[in-house]
Structure 1
């Protein structure tokens, strides 16, 4: 089961806001894709939240774009920032990236983001959102959301 960003944000607005803030805190994040042989590839990436979607834009012919064309599964981790305090928590999003060919959608994205032309554009379908944080300097707190289910919160000492 998958869903778009807007459906997730409607279902879990607090967690969605936290995730967006973590991605907004830094420009570059880490995208994991699958190579032809099935091994993982990690790449730097900028992301955008626009019009109820989480968008991934990429340079033409980039290996990460070719990976996603072949196998749309991805994992995206927000840049954790400096140090080891995990200020705001560590957030990850997983799902499927669907390449957008629609000229209108691409034009709307380009008007807002102004990417260098040409570019690959993918919208995401989410399968999981995870936030890991430290509470009271004692507990490791993991919040896990999957489509069709409420957030599950786990605490460990």
Structure 2
């Protein structure tokens, strides 16, 4: 039996000193249908529509709008994301014909420092937003690996 691995190998994880996965993100075509599909597995979801926000996306400031719902599986948050408008990784994912798991999120103390560490291992930041001091998100990709790694800083709890 052949075991499939991704490029986030044990040495990358150890080099980045990442904690356990805190969230699994799924990009879906229809948020309401996906909530109905996954509610029997993950329980109640909390929906959020933050409206259009500017993000740094592939080196440019781009507005994007997403609809989001959050559920739980034990200590792991399950995030369902429906792309509404704008340029972002979620649009790329849908336009490539995909639907399903897109990213894994890790909680970190300092997104900017951790991004620098990840870049030394071949990761590239493709989506970034600093919401406030102590609150930021970054999506990273690595050539040849379809999985996006999200680093999330939240010193506000």
How does the TM-score come out when normalised to structure 1?
0.27
User: Quick check: which one's strand share is greater?
Assistant: 2
